[in-house]
Amino acid sequence: MDAAAAAERENEMTVENTRDVAVLGLGEMGAAIAGALLAAGHRTTVWNRTPEKAEEAVAGGARRAATVPDAVAAGEVVFISVKGAAAVRKILEEAGGALAGRTVVNLTDGTSAEARETARLAAGSGAEYLHGQIMTIVPGIGHPEAVVFFGGEQAVYDRHRPLLDLLGGKGTLVAADPGVPVLYGMSVHGIMWGLLNGFLHAAALLTDEGVELKRFLDQAAPSLAALMSFLPSIADEVEHSRHAAEYGALRHHHPSVDDLLRESRDRGVDDRLPAHTLSLVARALADGHADDSYSRLVDAFRTP
């Protein structure tokens, strides 16, 4: 094939693969999503409650829709990225009959119940539905390592995969139920906040002593790396309700947490994190679980 024929074939393929998409909501995240779709050459229609915010997308080649139904009618796949499930509900209600035959990809955060309710609303209007839980900030959109947890029917996910992969290279369908990716997302965030709070409490202690944090991180790296490697065995213990521990049982944790609490108090550092941990461990000991693994504390989270 000569160069001209190859260019023509590439052009045909591009045209074949070009989709009609709509993006509703052009805040920080919606604008980035519209940008990724436009950069991939898709015919993109945009709508935002405050119309001026569409200007950047329009300058990038998007068509501006004046109303929600107009935007939804223009896209076979309709991405929604706004603040809160109530805003999504309002958009779906406004879209009405225009939703029939469309695929709604809702990328708006909320609770699992809200995602399920949104899915019901979309289905009630004849639309297919995918929930997407974006696990990156704006600069990560389109990055090969960016994670998006999706929930919905496998066939719908597979059909739209080339579009969905534009959001992040590590997109995964985690369940048919749209509530599950929401739980995945908030679980990662919950673990992140636990880790960051633990680190920042430690940072308050270490800097009070004048210890350089990077030096601490270098020297403590093997201990810190080992923490992540415990998680699969903790998960196993929780799932099988098998908490018996040969070593490192809760009775050993108790004095160590107490040391951390007293050290914090001695230095005038906030002691609420270790105090909370100590109360969880003390309750497990009082319930007769001194010889159990730390995983036993899942009971305290299940029945506060």
Ligand X SMILES: NC(=O)c1ccc[n+]([C@@H]2O[C@H](COP(=O)([O-])OP(=O)(O)OC[C@H]3O[C@@H](n4cnc5c(N)ncnc54)[C@H](OP(=O)(O)O)[C@@H]3O)[C@@H](O)[C@H]2O)c1
Select 64 or 90, whichever has its Cβ closest to ligand X.
Answer: 90
Q: Does 171 bind ligand X (CB under 6 A)?
A: no
**Per-residue CA distances from 219 to 186, 216, 222 (Å):** 31, 5, 8
Q: Which of 1, 2, 3, 28 binds ligand X (CB under 6 A)?
A: 28
Q: Which is nearer to ligand X, 139 or 210 (CB)?
A: 139
- Of residues 20, 27, 165, 198, which one binds ligand X by CB under 6 A? 27
The distance in angstroms from the start CA to the end CA of the chain is 70
**284 contacts 296 by C-beta, under 8 angstroms:** yes
Largest Cα–Cα distance in the chain? 80
| Interface with ligand X (CB under 6 A), residue from 53, 63, 64, 251 | 53
Stretch that binds ligand X, among 25-33, 93-101, 170-178, 266-274 (CB under 6 A): 25-33
Stretch that binds ligand X, among 44-52, 98-106, 157-165, 230-238 (CB under 6 A): 44-52
Point out which span in 14-22, 48-56, 251-259, 283-291 binds ligand X (CB under 6 A): 48-56
**Residue nearest ligand X, Cβ-based:** 27
Map the footprint of ligand X across residues 60-119, applying CB under 6 A: 81-83, 87, 90, 107-109
**Identity of the residue, 25 or 75, whose beta carbon is nearer to ligand X in the bound complex:** 25
CB 96 within 8 A of CB 79: no
Which is nearer to ligand X, 107 or 297 (by Cβ)?
Answer: 107
- Those residues with Cβ within 8 angstroms of residue 287's Cβ, 6 or more apart along the chain or in another chain: 299
Shortest reach from residue 151's CB to ligand X, in Å: 15
Whole-number minimum distance, CB 25 to ligand X, in Å?
4
Q: Does 264 bind ligand X (CB under 6 A)?
A: no
Q: Does 30 bind ligand X (CB under 6 A)?
A: yes
Q: How far are the Cα atoms of 8, 10, 15, 16, 112 from residue 4, in angstroms, in the given order?
A: 6, 10, 16, 18, 52
Q: What type of residue is 100? A: A
- Beta-bridge mates of residue 152: 130
- The residues that touch ligand X, with contacts defined as CB under 6 A, are 25-30, 48-50, 53, 81-83, 87, 90, 107-109, 134, 137-138
